[in-house]
Structure 1
Amino acid sequence: MTQRIAALLLLPLFTYGTEVVLERVPESGVQPQVVSTSDGTLHLVYLVGNPGGGDVHYVSKKAGASGWSAPRTINSTPASAVAMGTIRGAQIAVGKGDSLHVVWNGPGGKNQPAPLLYSRSVNGGGTFETQRDLRSGTQGLDGGASIAASGTGEVFVVWHGAPAGAAPGEINRRVFVLKSADNGGTFTKPKIANEDDPGVCACCSLKTFVSPGGELLTLYRAARSPEQRDITLMTSRDGGATFQRRNVGPWAIKACPMSSASVIATGGKTRGAWESEGRVYTALLDGTSEAVAVSGDKARHPALAVNARDETLVTWSEGTGWQKGGQLAWVVLDSAGKPTGSRGIKPGVPVWGFTNAYANGQTFVILY
């Protein structure tokens, strides 16, 4: 897969064509993640409180409803979620029977490794189970974990760290995969997915997803050398038993960009979005589609949504950084994946924040 830069003119404050609506996260929360279940209900998680040790809150909105439900705290141990760094917050996935599965990074301490925390709801968000630490003896949890689930009861938790006792350094980091075959009730021991291709960028998050065809797809930033930090697509076609990898987003940079990625199903296919060379790129993850830059410079943390016309919204942050907010920006792709005239930019991304989005019929809603 190659990359090319699509020249885009971002128009301030307004879009035309497909309607795009902006919505602030409830409670002035940050790092929103939203999914929908089979009945059209939206399920939103976000972080509130101290960035170094806050809480994961959950709200929902039934199809046709005008507002979100009252917030509920997911983490059973208070102040056990990290927002600092913008890439360690909660991730949510929908599993068998519209179950909800949530994973997030917890705060570490002196001589106390940061935990990898998980909770689930098997009653559509009515209640969440006591949080569990899934770190399983691995060390060096830094960049955020991700979670994916299927309708057949498989749940995958994917993160990067180091095996117990490994020497320091990014070259010794690995991608770990935990699998549950009983809808999150129990998990296997962590499996190293890139033993033959070591090196992961320490403070970048990754994104995992079960495709419409049942493949487990993971986008992560490799660090095979200090100067090369390419976005890598890792694929498993056998339920996490074996993995294949290929680079989709080259980036020669001698520092960790603290980046994130996004994946979504669209028209029976799977689309990804990621950051390379300070721009947001997107492409179908089919091995043949060309990646296109849809942003200007200093763009970060892309998110994707698909509407009833099979158009795709790509939204991202611009100018954000450590303890620094910025602007949100977006562009709508037509059903063929080409950028349209529906695009815009607006201030408002808070410190430690980024955007996410969902579709309401043909209208897109950007959460920030």
Structure 2
Amino acid sequence: MKKRILALLLLIPLFARGAEVGLERVPEGGVQPQVVATRDGTLHLVYLKGDPRGGDVRYASKKAGAPEWSKPRTINSKAGSAVAMGTIRGAQIAVGKDESLHVVWNGPGGKNQPAALHYSRSLNRGASFENQRDLRSDTQGLDGGASIAASGKGEVFVVWHGAPAGAAPGEINRRVFILKSTDNGGTFSKPQIANADDPGVCACCSLKTFVSPGGELLTLYRAARSMGQRDIVLMTSTDGGATHQHRDVGPWAINMCPMSSASVVAAGAKTRAAWEAEGRVYTALLDATSEALAVSEEKARHPALAVNSRGETLVSWSIGTGWQKGGQLGWVVLDAAGKPTAERGVKAGVPVWGFSTAYAEGERFVILY
């Protein structure tokens, strides 16, 4: 009996209860939420609303500790210019110099009309947004969702995948493109290919870019070097996007496009990422020594991350969602050492074309879905 009690006591630290987790629906019944925080703790939220083939990017904010979001407003200056269909083409948002806000999203295509890559910014903390601009240039085949990152130095990076003008069809001819601004989104350079030495990108998967606490430009994307192998690749630039190094972090032998997405968040001085592989959500610190940890059951996808004031991490994901199919929400809290706690759950209600995002208020987490 004493041995049994001792064994149970030894297990307690491994399954210590994590932080409180609250659940909240996206305002207006919107889908594909993304949230960032500025230095004063204000939360800035974007999501899609309307026709999934051509809807609107909506914006709301909430000051630290406030009970409700502000009245939502439309960011896109051209009505119906955002695509929710497919789940991986929605808006992404980043905070830049002087708490400027930068938003990028996929626009709908049409007959002989390539899909657009739209961008807008706010230089007054979300009070107003500039008219949208199409940054696609002459690249073709925009499909999976684009991403955006910014630094406090006025750098803005827009990253997407497509094919160079005139390229032959096929995923092996797809490349990761980067646009860089050094004037806080006022102007952008010409698109530069970031993976010329490692071609092939999974067409209908989104990618995720992020400026790390140490100033590195990090990008996660799903490669398509062959039909049967679609690994998650970490692309790292230490010179402001001029050159890039690549390494695989999430292998997956699958002969189809999984329409996946990834998430990245600052975890103190380090960076944590989450992605889908083999039908489960994995997470790891993006350093040379950390191993990926599976934190979900099967049929999990579209992870989101948040870190609270105690250094704990919330990982949330969708369960069983698909084409024109909603599903469930799943989550787990990791302790400050990155180990799963007993704080985990599942809830129905993820809408069609929906997924979750998460944020922290002090020690507490909130999942928006």
Whether TM exceeds 0.5 here: the answer is yes
Matched residue SS, 1:44: strand
CA distance in 2 between partners of 1:318 and 1:64 (Å): 30
Match of 2:365 in 1: 364
Amino acid at match of 1:209: F
2:216 corresponds to: 215
Given the alignment of the two structures, is residue 276 of structure 1 paired with residue 283 of structure 2, yes or no?
no
Letter in 2 for 1:18: A
Query: What's the offset of the Cα at 1:18?
Result: 1.5
| 1:48 maps onto 2:46 in alignment | no
Following superposition, the deviation at residue 267 of structure 1 comes to: 1.5
Aligned match of 2:13: none
Instruction: Work out the CA distance in 1 between the residues paired with 2:350 and 2:264.
Output: 21
- The one-letter amino acid of 2:73's match is R
Does the residue aligned with 2:98 lie in a helix, a strand or coil? helix
Q: Report the 3-state secondary structure (helix = DSSP H, G, I; strand = E; otherwise coil) of the residue aligned with 1:199.
A: coil
CA distance in 2, matches of 1:223, 1:66: 44
Structure-1 separation of matches of 2:192 and 2:100:
24
Structural mapping, 1:303-322, within 5 Å:
303-322=304-323
Structure 1 contact 16–343 (Cα < 8 Å) conserved: no
Q: Give the 3-state SS of the residue equivalent to 1:340 in structure 2.
A: strand
The percentage of aligned residue pairs carrying the same residue is 81
TM-score (norm 1): 0.96
Residue aligned with 1:315, SS? strand
Q: Which residue of 1 aligns with 2:173?
A: 172
1:83-122 correspondence to structure 2 within 5 Å: 83-122=84-123
1-structure distance, mates of 2:349, 2:365: 18
Partner secondary structure for residue 71 of structure 2: coil
- Once residues 237 and 288 of structure 1 are traced to their aligned partners in structure 2, the CA distance between those partners, rounded to angstroms, is 19
Answer whether contact 1:95 1:153 (CA < 8 A) is retained: yes
RMSD (Å) for aligned C-alpha atoms: 0.8
Whole-Å separation in 1 of the counterparts to 2:264 and 2:44: 17
Unaligned regions of 5+ residues in structure 2, if any? 1-15
Q: Distance in 2 between matches of 1:48 and 1:16?
A: 36
1:21-170 equivalences under 5 Å are: 21-170=22-171
User: What is aligned with 2:6?
Assistant: none
Shift in Å at residue 64 of structure 1?
1.9
TM-score computed with the length of structure 2 as normaliser = 0.95
Contact 1:106 1:114 in 2 (8 A): yes
**Contact kept in structure 1, 2:206 and 2:221, CA below 8 Å:** yes
Distance (Å, rounded) in 1 between the aligned partners of 2:258 and 2:267: 28
User: What secondary structure does 1:50 align onto?
Assistant: coil
TM-fit CA distance, 1:16:
5.4
In structure 2, the residue matched to 1:5 is none
Moved over 3 A (4+): none
| CA drift at 1:65 | 1.1
Q: How far, CA to CA, are the matches of 1:50 and 1:177 in structure 2?
A: 29
Cα distance in 1 for partners of 2:17, 2:70 equals 31
Q: Residue 350 of structure 1 corresponds to which residue in structure 2?
A: 351
Separation (CA, whole Å) in 2 of partners of 1:46 and 1:109: 23
Q: Which has the higher contact order (CA 8 A, sep 6+)?
A: 1
